């Protein structure tokens, strides 16, 4: 899909088919899945969406006195003022000042509870402010066909060009918000054959959702409308032309069945309960006349008494489920369903470009947006892209960083986020970075460990890994700089020991740090550190007597001391616990250099597997 705002016009030949509530339920459903949504009420003679939202107190007040009629008046005036043959100019208005935002207290429950809430705005009609006179002053019947077309096109530009500030979940804390547009613009159109109806259906809309009752008057009127606007009464196929860059027709993940050429969804509404045979017959008539099997929105007694946002207030009711199906189809019409997005992510993470030089090209922003949409729709990211595979993914470092931020900001729990910070810190601790003495990487690594501990203060693994990383960096330093890092490493292991139930792990890590520290010291300092390390290993062994890692570390310590018999004692114990004990393990370990040439050590080494 393409991530430009997509305009969907909801149209019905006659009223009474639940069009306005279909618009609103679709809007709240999309918003609950992290999409930025704007509802535009262009049913000017009977603004149902505006009336419902105002009656129920869903909207926050706006600082401006303007409404949808004022915006439309500015657009129409610009069209009238344009010289013949000259495209009209965008009217000088700030759309933000005409919008009402839905009160957060009235949002539907988000699919992802920790994601930042998207925008849910309405360009409503203000019936309290001399509405009839302002509507009459538009004098829409006086517009020529070309002027209606130009007004539709210009209104589309006004709506699609609007931007607001929003922090995306792949941005780091403190980053400036980015200019962002709506994902969906849902237009509630006037019924019948009118100037406003033509404006809504013309260039303004990318897609149509046409609602029809099941009686002959509705079906005939709907068919006449489709013919009037150039829609074919037959289902689109792979032989038809792709409508725009967001059209999934012909893609590996095709969208739902629609009419064309402008992709159009057909909805039967309201479908009554009761007599099954006659209802089925009428559905078949609609399908045969229009050329497409319709979705259905069933009659619900609640709607006769009080209109409501079913997907928010009654999510388990059958009508809420039907609204959900409608909204899912709307998303699939622009390649925005979870299935379509997952498949496209899998394609995007495969390197592209010139295969001769293997130089991949990545559209990182596109990938991030797709991953975000899946995560906020499903509540999880790990199933989209296993973060543990990032270092081997071949993705650019900057993009890997953004994906990690996405993983953290959309983490389902603080514990998950802490683990993600830890994984990021561990990934930064590389031999190459230590060899270069890269201060920036070191500071960034420590910052990630710190964030992990802030979220999960009793995170023993994070403290242990932090201590191990400090020890590894210390081995690349000399003098007081190395000592300071080793002291800090020891402190991390002490902290881990104080909070963990698996104390043998913390003790072993502490001993390992002391062992590494000893190797930059000589004389009494060396001996003191080796003795201290042995003390920690023995304490660990007293808790976990069959741990091969602790036993191997004791062998290393004995090797550093040059004690052949003790070294072999521990190595023999290690072999009994490790069926994969191999020559290469000893050959690559410098801790055994002082005993390596001893015949007894050589004999033991030769007895190991290759």
- Domain with 99, as residue range(s), is 6-333
pLDDT average, residue stretch 264-278:
89
Is there a domain that residue 355 lies in? no
Q: What average pLDDT does the structure give for the chain?
A: 92
Banded pLDDT at 354 (limits 50, 70, 90):
very low
Nearest residue to 6 (alpha-carbon basis) of 291, 208, 279: 208
178 within a domain of the structure (yes/no): yes
Token pair of 606 as six digits: 């030769």
Q: Do residue 321 and residue 398 come from a single domain?
A: no
Give whole-number Cα distances, 111 to 33, 38, 437, in Å.
6, 19, 44
Check whether residue 576 and residue 431 sit in a common domain: yes
Q: Does the N-terminal peptide bond of residue 49 adopt cis geometry, omega within 30 degrees of 0? A: no
Where does the pLDDT of residue 360 fall: very low under 50, low under 70, confident under 90, or very high at 90 and above? very low
CATH number reported for the structural domain that contains residue 547 in this entry: 1.25.40.10
- 319 and 404 in a common domain: no
Out of 286, 311, 333, pick the residue that ends a domain. 333
pLDDT for residue 359:
42
The answer to whether residue 542 scores a pLDDT higher than 90 is yes
pLDDT at 290: 95
> How many CB atoms lie under 10 A from the CB of residue 356?
6
3-state SS record for 67-114: CHHHHHHHHHHHHHHCCCCCCCCCCCCCHHHHCEEECHHHCCCCCCCC
Instruction: Please tell me whether residues 283 and 395 are part of one structural domain.
Output: no
How many residues in the chain?
610
Q: 535: buried, middle or exposed (CB in 10 Å: 19+, 13-18, 0-12)?
A: middle
Residue 358 forms part of a structural domain: no
Q: How far is CA 130 from the centre of its chain?
A: 44
Residues 393 and 320 both lie in one domain:
no
pLDDT one-digit tens code per residue, 390-412: 877 788 889 999 999 999 999 98
Decide if pLDDT at 95 tops 70: yes
Residues forming a β-bridge with 298: 271
pLDDT of residue 350: 67
- Evaluate whether 22 touches 309 at the Cβ level (below 8 Å): no
78 neighbors 90 (Cβ within 8 angstroms)? yes
Asked if residue 325 and residue 405 are part of one domain, the reply reads: no
**CATH number of the domain where residue 318 is located:** 3.40.50.300
Residue 137, helix vs strand vs coil: helix
DSSP bridge partners of 260: 232
In a domain, 363, yes or no: no
Residue 245 within any structural domain of the chain = yes
Per-residue DSSP letter, 477: -
How far CA 596 is from CA of 229, 556, 570, 592, 603, in Å, comes to 88, 12, 15, 6, 10
Does residue 457 carry a pLDDT above 70?
A: yes
Res. 196 pLDDT band, cuts 50 70 90: confident
Dist CA 233 CA 226 (whole Å): 7
What contacts 24+ positions apart, CB below 8 Å, involve 349-355? 349/385, 349/393, 349/395, 351/394
Q: Write down the pLDDT at residue 591.
A: 96
- What is the percent of the chain where pLDDT is above 90? 78
In a domain, 407, yes or no: yes
Domain total of the chain: 2
Residues 194 and 140: their CA atoms lie apart, in Å, by: 9
pLDDT value of residue 61: 85
In a domain, 538, yes or no: yes
Q: Where does a domain end: 292, 314, 333? A: 333
Question: Does residue 345 form part of some domain?
Answer: no
Q: At what angle do helices 68-81 and 145-161 cross, to 10 degrees?
A: 120
Asked whether residue 212 carries a pLDDT value surpassing 90, the answer given is yes
- With residue 460 as reference, give the H or E element that holds it: helix 460-474
259 and 185 both lie in a single domain: yes
* DSSP-derived secondary structure for 479-544: HHHHHHHHHHHHHHHHHHHHH-S-HHHHHHHHHHHHHHHHTT--HHHHHHHHHHHHHHHHHHHHH-
Q: Where are the alpha helices (DSSP H) in 120-215?
A: 131-138, 145-161, 195-201
Work out the burial of residue 57: count CB atoms within 10 Å of its CB; fewer than 13 is exposed, 13-18 middle, 19 or more buried: exposed
- The pLDDT value recorded for residue 355 is 38
Q: Do 434 and 304 share a structural domain?
A: no
Residues 254 and 399 in one domain: no
For the segment 430-448, the average pLDDT, to the nearest whole number, is: 97
DSSP designation for 385: S
Residue 382, pLDDT score: 62
Together in a domain, 269 and 407:
no
Q: Are residues 597 and 483 in the same domain?
A: yes
Average confidence (pLDDT) over 486-507: 94
Domain match, 325 and 395 both: no
Q: What is the mean pLDDT of residues 444-470?
A: 97
Read off the pLDDT of each residue in 212-229 and give the average, rounded to a whole number: 94
pLDDT of res. 362:
57
Which of 478, 472, 401, 402 minimizes the C-alpha distance to 442?
Answer: 472
Among residues 318, 333, 348, which one ends one of the domains? 333
| Reported pTM | 0.88
Check pLDDT > 60 for residue 356.
no
């Amino acid at each position: 899909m393409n991530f430009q705002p997509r305009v969907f016009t909801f149209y019905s030949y006659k009223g009474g088919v639940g069009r306005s509530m279909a618009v609103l339920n679709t809007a709240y459903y999309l918003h609950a899945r992290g999409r930025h949504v704007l509802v535009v009420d262009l049913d000017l003679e009977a603004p149902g969406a505006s009336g419902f939202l105002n009656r129920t107190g869903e909207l926050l007040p706006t600082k401006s006195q303007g409404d949808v009629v004022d915006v439309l008046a500015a657009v129409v005036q610009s069209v009238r003022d344009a010289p013949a043959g000259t495209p009209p100019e965008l009217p000088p208005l700030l759309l933000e000042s005409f919008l009402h935002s839905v009160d957060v207290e009235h949002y539907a429950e988000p699919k992802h509870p920790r994601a930042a809430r998207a925008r849910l705005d309405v360009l409503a009609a203000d019936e309290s402010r001399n509405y009839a006179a302002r509507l009459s002053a538009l004098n829409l019947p006086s517009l020529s066909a070309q002027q209606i077309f130009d007004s539709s096109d210009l209104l589309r530009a006004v709506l699609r060009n609007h931007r607001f500030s929003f922090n995306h979940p792949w941005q780091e804390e403190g980053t400036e918000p980015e200019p962002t547009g709506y994902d969906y613009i849902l237009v509630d159109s006037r019924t019948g054959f009118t100037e406003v109806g033509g404006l809504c259906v013309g260039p303004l809309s990318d897609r149509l959702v046409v609602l029809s009752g099941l009686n002959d008057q509705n079906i005939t009127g709907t068919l006449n409308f489709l013919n009037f606007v150039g829609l074919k009464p037959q289902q689109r196929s792979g032989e038809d032309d792709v409508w725009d860059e967001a059209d999934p027709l012909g893609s590996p993940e095709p969208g739902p069945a629609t009419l064309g050429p402008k992709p159009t969804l057909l909805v039967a509404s309201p479908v009554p309960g009761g007599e099954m045979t006659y209802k089925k017959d009428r559905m078949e008539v609609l399908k045969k006349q229009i050329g497409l099997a319709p979705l259905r929105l069933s009659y619900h007694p609640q709607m006769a008494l009080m209109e409501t946002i079913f997907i928010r207030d009654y999510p388990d009711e059958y009508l809420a489920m039907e609204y959900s199906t409608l909204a899912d189809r709307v998303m699939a019409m622009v390649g925005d369903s979870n299935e379509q997005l997952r498949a496209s992510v899998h394609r995007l993470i495969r390197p592209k470009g010139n295969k001769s030089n293997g130089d991949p090209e990545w559209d990182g922003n596109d990938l991030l947006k797709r991953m975000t949409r899946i995560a906020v729709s499903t509540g999880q990211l790990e199933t989209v892209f296993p973060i543990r595979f990032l270092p081997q993914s071949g993705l650019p470092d900057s993009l890997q960083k953004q994906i990690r931020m996405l993983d953290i900001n959309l983490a389902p729990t603080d514990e998950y986020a802490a683990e993600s910070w830890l994984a990021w810190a561990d990934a930064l601790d590389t031999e190459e970075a230590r060899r270069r003495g890269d201060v920036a990487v070191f500071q960034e690594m420590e910052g990630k460990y710190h964030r992990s501990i802030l979220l999960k203060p009793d995170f023993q693994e994070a403290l242990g890994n932090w201590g191990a990383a400090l020890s590894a960096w210390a081995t690349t330093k000399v003098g007081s700089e190395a000592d300071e890092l080793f002291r800090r490493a020891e402190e991390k292991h002490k902290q881990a020991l104080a909070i963990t139930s698996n104390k043998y792990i913390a003790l072993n890590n502490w001993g390992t740090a002391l062992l590494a520290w000893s190797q930059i010291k000589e004389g009494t300092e060396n001996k003191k550190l080796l003795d201290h390390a042995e003390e920690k290993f023995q304490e660990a062994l007293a808790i976990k007597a069959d741990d091969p890692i602790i036993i191997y570390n004791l062998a290393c310590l004995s090797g550093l001391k040059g004690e052949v018999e003790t070294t072999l004692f521990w190595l023999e114990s290690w072999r009994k616990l490790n069926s994969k004990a191999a020559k290469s393990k000893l050959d690559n370990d410098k801790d055994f250099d002082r005993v390596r040439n001893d015949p007894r050590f050589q004999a033991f080494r030769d007895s190991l597997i290759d």
